[in-house]
């Protein structure tokens, strides 16, 4: 607006040059009248050489006071108007012979701006509407299939149903995605099926194993139980035979038996039969302890056990009291630390620690004074208890084997059946614990046992 008003002023000032030079008033008026055709220009004034008002132009009836003239070019926006001054030069442009003033209204400009704003607003609304339509269409094309996929995933997660498939609707990228998704589902379904089958097979095998185990325990129980009565008979009759032998010996002492026969009989009765009887008796004793060991072992698995919190200090006191005689007799130093309570069956735990303490005493080194200690500590998940001795120790390759049934390292040196640690191992596994040994030949052994923490920590009770 400023530029166009200044241009108008420049042209008009050029046109006024002649009428002003020659002082033709009518021509000046005619020139000013031309301003009528310009809607922006509200007023125009022409100043002569002496800077008096020469003529003026006014559009409409609004009050207008011509301003004081200015000799230089000037333009300024003030209020609702633009004020422009332009000098009128002489023909040879050597001097200023007057001035032109134009006052243009900015009202039209504001109207124009408002019109533009309204148009822009409408355009913007149309644009938003079109965008919305496009977005809705694109959503149907792009988000729709993805949302469908998400729904299927949700269904799978909720119901663990891998048999569902997404229906493919095209060969575009979404179609490829659907195919991949369906393939993945097929793979998962197949693996699920295989896993279920493996689990079912595992369960079946476990049941079978449990039944076989029970059967085996039953066989061990029945045989060890039933073999004991004939054994008792053999023991009894062997003793009877011993008495009869004594009687025969007495009879042989009589005078009516010839010396030669006496001698022969004495050899048979005192050496052959006595020796045989000794062997029979020692074998039956051995067999008896073997059978009672087997019976104990089968009982660990067979008897129903009640579990509860166990005061281990009380339990170990009971165990060590039972071994008081052996401890004193062997001059052994037995130390029992403060032990944390645990969760288990007190009868079986008593047997467990009795076996460990018994072994500790049995396998002491006769070369040095025996020392045995029983200790325990609380770990994060479980409690650990250990029985240490300074006995003969166990070499590395036998440390795992000692828990196997009938495994003995030096069968001739000590008495035993190789069942004590097998029973211990079984009790530990019934208590969901672990057992291991750390040992060095010539230095001693430590047997570690882990047991569950008590369920009610506040009140450990001994009797389960
Ligand atoms: P047993 O003592 O009747 O032979 P066990 O099952 O209790 O049977 O022990 C198996 C073998 O482990 C024993 O023969 C012995 O050689 C070894 N053993 C067990 N405890 C100890 C120990 N504290 N020190 C050294 N050796 C041991």
Residues with CB under 6 A from ligand 1: 359-360, 363, 389, 391-394, 402, 407-409, 416-422, 445
Task: Answer yes or no: are the C-beta atoms of 31 and 44 closer than 8 Å.
Answer: no
416: CA distance to ligand 1 center in Å? 8
- DSSP secondary structure letters along 262-317: HHHHHHIIIIIIHHHHHHHHHHHHHHHHHHHHHHHHHHHHHS----EEE-HHHHHH
Q: Phi and psi (nearest 5°) for 96?
A: -95, 125
Ligand 1 centroid vs 464 CA: distance in angstroms? 29
Report the C-alpha gap between 22 and 55 in whole angstroms. 15
363 Cα to the center of ligand 1, angstroms: 7
Output 173 or 457, whichever has higher pLDDT. 173
Residue 461 has pLDDT above 70, yes or no: no
> Among 401, 420, 447, which is best to mutate for testing ligand 1, by the most ligand atoms less than 8 A from CB?
420
Tokens at 356, concatenated = 């460990």
Q: What is the mean pLDDT of residues 4-23?
A: 93
Residue 8 — pLDDT band, cuts 50, 70, 90? very high
Ligand 1 nearest atom to the CA of residue 293, by list position: 3
Angstrom distances, CA of residue 310 to CA of 153, 340, 351, 448: 50, 9, 14, 18
CA of 315 to the centre of ligand 1 (A): 22
Average pLDDT on 112-130 reads 95
- Supply the residue whose CA is at minimum distance from atom 11 of ligand 1: 408
Query: Where residue 464 falls among pLDDT bands split at 50, 70, 90?
Result: very low
What is the tens place of the pLDDT at every residue in 341-353? 999 999 999 999 9
| CA 314 to centroid of ligand 1, rounded, Å | 26
How is residue 59 written in tokens?
């559009």
- Cα–Cα distance for residue pair 437/425, rounded to 1 Å: 11
Contact 462, 346 (CB under 8 A): yes
Ligand 1: which of 408, 417, 428 to mutate, most ligand atoms within 8 Å of CB?
408
Which ligand 1 atom sits nearest the alpha carbon of residue 409? 16
Question: Which amino acid residue places its CA nearest to atom 25 of ligand 1?
Answer: 393
Res 174: pLDDT: 84
How far does the centroid of ligand 1 lie from the alpha carbon of residue 249, in Å?
Answer: 43
What pLDDT band is residue 256 in, cutting at 50, 70 and 90? Answer: confident
Rounded to the nearest 10 degrees, how much is the dihedral formed by the CA atoms of 13, 15, 21, 27?
-120
Q: Tell me the per-residue pLDDT of 355-370, one tens digit each, with 9 for 90 and over.
A: 999 999 999 999 999 9
Compute, in angstroms, the gap from residue 217 CA to the centroid of ligand 1. Answer: 23
Give the pLDDT of residue 304.
66
DSSP sequence for 332-359: -EEEE-----EEE-HHHHHHHHHHHHHH
290: CB partners within 8 A, 6+ apart: 417, 419
CA 262 – ligand 1 centroid, Å: 49
CB atoms closer than 10 angstroms to residue 74: 15
**Ligand 1 centre distance from Cα of residue 220 (Å):** 22
CB atoms within 10 A of CB 252: 15
What stretch of H or E contains 440? strand 435-440
Angle among Cα 85, 59, 20 to the nearest 5 degrees reads 45
Q: Which atom of ligand 1 is nearest to the CA of 414?
A: 4
Ligand 1, atom nearest to 391 Cα? 24
Burial (CB count within 10 angstroms: exposed 0-12, middle 13-18, buried 19+), residue 54: buried
What number of H helices and E strands is found in the chain? 12, 12
Instruction: From 290, 391, 402, 441, give the residue whose CB has the most ligand 1 atoms within 8 Å, as the site to mutate.
Output: 402
Nearest-atom number in ligand 1 for the CA of 417 is: 3
Residue 88 bridge partners (DSSP): 98
- As a whole number, the mean pLDDT across the chain is 89
Residues 364-391: b if buried by 16+ CB within 10 A, e if exposed: beeeeebbbbbebeeeeebbbbbbbbbb
pLDDT at 21 > cutoff 50: yes
Is the model more confident about 105 or about 101? Answer: 101
Token duo for residue 292: 């009672």
Q: Whose CA is nearest to atom 2 of ligand 1?
A: 416
Cα dihedral: 235, 236, 237, 238 (round 10): 40
Q: What's the gap in Å between 418 CA and the centre of ligand 1?
A: 7
Residue owning the nearest CA to atom 21 of ligand 1? 359
Highest averaged pLDDT of the listed ranges 105-114, 285-294, 368-377: 368-377
Q: Which atom of ligand 1 is nearest to the CA of 447?
A: 23
Q: Is the pTM of this model over 0.75?
A: no
User: pLDDT for 138-155, tens place per residue?
Assistant: 877 778 888 888 999 999
Lowest average pLDDT, out of 201-205, 227-231, 299-303, 370-374, goes to 299-303
Ligand 1 atom at minimal distance to the Cα of residue 387? 23
**Which of 407, 421, 439, 441 most suits a substitution to test ligand 1, by most atoms within 8 Å of the C-beta?**
421
List the one residue out of 30, 6, 28 whose CA is nearest residue 98.
28
Contact present, 296 and 424 (Cβ < 8 Å): no
Cα(392) to centroid(ligand 1), Å: 10
Kindly write down the DSSP assignment for every residue of 48-117, as one continuous string: -TTSSEEEEEE-SS----PPPP-SS-EEEEETTEEEEEEEEE-TTSSSEEEEEEEEEESHHHHHHHHHHH
pLDDT at 300: 81
User: How far does residue 359's CA lie from ligand 1's centre (Å)?
Assistant: 6
pLDDT, average across residues 214-239: 86
């Amino acid at each position: 607006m400023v530029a166009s008003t200044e241009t108008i002023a420049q042209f008009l000032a050029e046109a006024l040059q002649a009428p002003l030079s020659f002082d033709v008033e009518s021509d000046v008026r005619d020139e000013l009248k031309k301003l009528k055709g310009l809607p922006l220009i509200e007023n125009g004034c022409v100043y002569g050489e002496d800077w008096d008002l020469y003529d003026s132009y006014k559009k409409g009836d609004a009050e207008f006071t011509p301003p004081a003239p200015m000799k230089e070019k000037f333009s300024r926006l003030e209020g609702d108007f633009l004020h422009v001054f332009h000098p009128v030069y002489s023909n040879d442009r050597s001097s200023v012979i007057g001035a032109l003033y134009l006052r243009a209204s900015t009202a039209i400009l504001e109207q124009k701006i408002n019109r533009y704003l309204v148009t822009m607003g409408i355009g913007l609304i149309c644009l938003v509407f079109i965008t919305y339509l496009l977005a809705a269409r694109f959503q149907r094309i792009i988000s729709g299939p993805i949302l469908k996929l998400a729904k299927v995933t949700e269904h799978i997660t909720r119901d663990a149903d891998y048999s569902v498939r997404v229906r493919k609707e095209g060969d575009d990228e979404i179609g490829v995605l659907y195919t991949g998704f369906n393939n993945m589902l097929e793979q998962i379904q197949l693996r699920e099926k295989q896993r279920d089958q493996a689990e079912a097979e595992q369960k079946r095998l476990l049941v079978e194993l449990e039944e076989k185990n029970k059967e085996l325990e039953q066989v061990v129980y029945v045989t060890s139980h039933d073999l004991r009565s004939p054994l008792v008979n053999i023991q009894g009759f062997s003793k009877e035979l011993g008495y009869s032998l004594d009687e025969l010996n007495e009879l042989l002492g009589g005078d009516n038996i010839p010396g030669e026969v006496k001698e022969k009989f004495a050899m048979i009765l005192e050496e052959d039969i006595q020796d045989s009887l000794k062997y029979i008796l020692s074998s039956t004793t051995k067999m008896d302890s073997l059978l009672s060991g087997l019976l104990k072992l089968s009982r660990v698995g067979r008897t129903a056990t009640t579990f509860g919190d166990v005061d281990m200090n009380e339990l170990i006191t009971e165990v060590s009291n039972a071994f008081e005689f052996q401890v004193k007799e062997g001059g052994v130093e037995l130390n029992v630390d403060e032990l944390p309570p645990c969760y288990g069956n007190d009868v079986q735990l008593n047997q467990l620690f009795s076996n460990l303490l018994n072994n500790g005493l049995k396998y002491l080194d006769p070369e040095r004074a025996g020392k045995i200690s029983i200790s325990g500590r609380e770990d994060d998940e479980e409690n650990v208890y250990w029985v240490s001795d300074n006995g003969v120790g166990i070499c590395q390759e036998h440390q795992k084997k000692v828990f196997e049934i009938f495994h003995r390292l030096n069968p001739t040196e000590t008495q035993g059946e190789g069942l004590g640690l097998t029973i211990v191992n079984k009790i530990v596994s019934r208590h969901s614990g672990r057992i291991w040994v750390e040992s060095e030949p010539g230095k001693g052994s430590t047997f570690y046992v882990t047991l569950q923490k008590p369920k009610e920590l506040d009140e450990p009770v001994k009797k389960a």
